[in-house]
Structure 1
Amino acid sequence: MVGKVLLTGGAGYIGSHTFVALQDAGYDPVILDDFSNAKKSVLDRIKLICQRSEIECHQVDVRDSDAIFEILNQGGFVAAVHFAAKKAVGESVEKPLDYIDINCTGLLSLLKAMERAEVFNLVFSSSATVYGDQEIIPIPETATRSYASPYAFTKLMGEQILEQVGDADPRWSFGTLRYFNPAGAHASGMIGEDPADIPNNLMPYIAKVATGEFEHLSVFGDTYNTHDGTGVRDYIHVMDLADAHVKSLKTLQKNSISHAINIGTGTGYSVLDMLAAYGRAVGKTLPHKIAPRRDGDVDTLLGEVEKAEEVIGFKTRYDLDEICASSWHWINTGAFQAAKEDNS
């Protein structure tokens, strides 16, 4: 092992997949999670994938800086990867104080603990929402940042906090990763997007149509300026996203130079493209109905992705059909059913 890495929110969807990727790269991941949006059963499934008898996991609120310090102060930590955050855009509009408290206070708490423990490499889970509404597509990393929701505000504030800290203290190195739309599941079918989550994005809804839980997919608008009239977005396989975290961390350790980069495929797919691809994975046509457009939705949201390859050597490996196939494989495993029934 080349050192311990603290994963805040490490039992969640992206965190659990990144745990596997970090172990495969030789790191010793340690999970910190309050399990407010994750289930403890995921730990057993990670152990099976990684062939480990035990996983170091601490049930701690990310706002508890002293508790985080006690973990880091055990020694051997080379970095942290910060996932722990609330992430539902709609909920953030209703509960902005909760989002600012957990997302921003949580980051400050982690940074203070890391500084005390003298651990100065951090990979930060940001979001393409920090770009707000952009006229230039694909969006370059140099685009002016803004926000259209309290959730996006917290991610933008997080980026700005890291910039201020990094400017003031050269010991720090930050990898800021601006995600587009993670989807899919690990090839084992043992971990994937948590079925207990309220879907905040497209693929979980399509999956519920495929399983019969929903009668049809509601497509919000078919009059966008796209090839089929439905909104176009960039979808990235969650294991590609996990790999991006590993490559970001390795780059920080190698050159100690902070970076802020888009993480996506650079290719856009419409809502109907996604529905058709999932239908190919399932082996049947999935029904949909056109619904009114939602306020704030844009025609196309894509980012430039060349910088990721130039700076951290990252390039995606999985295409849309592989993303959908991995999701359907996960849904059809016993692990998915166990996770669905687990209320721990």
Structure 2
Amino acid sequence: MAILITGGAGYIGSHTSVELLNAGYEVILLDNFSNSKPESLQRIKEISSKDFKFYEVDLLNRNNVEQVFLNNHIEAVIHFAGLKAVGESVSIPLHYYHNNLTGTLILCDVMKKYGVKNLVFSSSATVYGVPDQVPIKENFPLSATNPYGHTKLMIEEILRNLYVADNDWSIALLRYFNPIGAHESGRIGEDPNGIPNNLMPYITQVAVGKLNELQVFGNDYPTIDGTGVRDYIHVVDLALGHLKALEKVMFSNGIMAYNLGTGTGYSVLEIVAAFEKVTGKKVPYRIVDRRTGDIAICYADPSKAKDKLGWVAERGIEVMCQDSWRWQEKNPMGYESKVMI
């Protein structure tokens, strides 16, 4: 029996695939390469020394999705696939709603048809909107400030309705905060298309000379230095959280949400300073206007994941910066690079 990973070639999907393979799981990866590269698949195999099936499939194509289920014995699904840029979602909301919602509806309908009712869903801390207080607990009110966040919120509600209608389903909603870092080998990491939407790849691309300067979106927030504060989590810790959630859904029924974060918030400028300290690389930056849909402060209370899943984030901010830089330095042009030794 295999675990299907949608979006398995992407940043978080690739790291989770490595950890699942290392733990002895059989995995099947599905991706349409809209925000990922085929090269990551080879690197997953290299790191894990294991092979796996891969399907280049878009979740919007129901017939192709059905073929994956028809030709394999799938026991559970980890669902990463989806568009994920906050700013872009504000510009092209209909595209985000169609892709993220319709893709998930098709996936769940096919899962139901083939009797696969174990699901780990890649949600987001954006479902908390603008929280009244921090740290953020799973029982806080839910809302969203941008179309991307709304798609995550709506999918969570769809999955809750799905469980109410059929209690055989077992679903984990993983609300993760801000993943950064890379595998310690430097062989897989975050390789966004175009100018990065996320902070760390923006920083590393400036440090490697691919971009001239970092744009800091706003310095007038009510924070320690006026820049936005986020809970940054190492992508390998996040991947291990998916393993724990998978174990949970395989052996219990129900639907439960879990925060995956460290419980510590860092501002943009604190991250820049930590990166410069660890790497010795200067990161020039320029303050620009706030980005539509952004909030001031967001960090997790991760105690529920510790209590219910036995999961704790272990890697600190310096390791996150070191591993991010190792990936970028070895792969200055991302997966298209000739690897630097």
Q: TM-score range by the shorter chain?
A: over 0.9
Q: 1:41: which partner in 2?
A: 39
The residue identity in structure 1 corresponding to 2:32 is: D
SS of match in other structure, 1:66:
helix
Count residues with an aligned counterpart: 338
TM-score between both structures, scaled by the size of structure 1:
0.93
Does 2:164 align with 1:167?
yes
The residue identity in structure 1 corresponding to 2:88 is: E
Does 2:228 align with 1:231?
yes
Pairwise CA distance, 1:234: 0.5
Name which of structure 1's ranges 161-170 and 289-298 shifts more when overlaid on structure 2. 289-298
State how far apart, in whole Å, the 2-side matches of 1:150 and 1:298 are. 14
The residue identity in structure 2 corresponding to 1:190 is: R
2:173 is aligned, of 166, 173, 176, to 176
Does 2:124 align with 1:141?
no
Task: Give yes or no for contact 2:126–2:144 (8 Å, CA) kept in 1.
Answer: yes
State how far apart, in whole Å, the 1-side matches of 2:201 and 2:77 are. 28
- From the superposition, tell whether residues 37 and 285 of structure 1 become closer, same or farther in structure 2 (CA, over 3 Å): closer
Question: For residues 106-163 of structure 1, what are the alpha-carbon distances to aligned partners after superposition, in whole Å with 9 as ceiling and x for unaligned?
Answer: 0011011111111110000011111111111111111111111111111111000000
Pairwise CA distance, 1:341: 4.8
- From the superposition, tell whether residues 154 and 114 of structure 1 become closer, same or farther in structure 2 (CA, over 3 Å): same
TM-score between both structures, scaled by the size of structure 2:
0.94
2:100 is aligned, of 93, 100, 103, to 103
State how far apart, in whole Å, the 2-side matches of 1:8 and 1:180 are. 20
Identity in percent: 47
Kindly report the root-mean-square deviation, in angstroms, between the aligned alpha carbons of the 2 structures: 1.7
1:251 is aligned, of 248, 252, 259, to 248
SS of match in other structure, 1:277:
helix
State how far apart, in whole Å, the 1-side matches of 2:75 and 2:164 are. 21
Task: Give yes or no for contact 1:191–1:336 (8 Å, CA) kept in 2.
Answer: no
Task: Give yes or no for contact 2:208–2:332 (8 Å, CA) kept in 1.
Answer: no
Name which of structure 1's ranges 319-328 and 216-225 shifts more when overlaid on structure 2. 216-225
Q: Which runs of 5+ in 1 are unaligned?
A: none
The residue identity in structure 2 corresponding to 1:17 is: H
Q: 2:29: which partner in 1?
A: 31
State how far apart, in whole Å, the 2-side matches of 1:158 and 1:297 are. 21
Name which of structure 1's ranges 279-288 and 151-160 shifts more when overlaid on structure 2. 279-288
State how far apart, in whole Å, the 2-side matches of 1:35 and 1:267 are. 33
Task: Give yes or no for contact 1:221–1:293 (8 Å, CA) kept in 2.
Answer: yes
Pairwise CA distance, 1:215: 2.9
Pairwise CA distance, 1:29: 1.2
Does 2:332 align with 1:339?
no
Q: 1:213: which partner in 2?
A: 210
1:20 is aligned, of 18, 21, 29, to 18
Task: Give yes or no for contact 2:123–2:152 (8 Å, CA) kept in 1.
Answer: yes
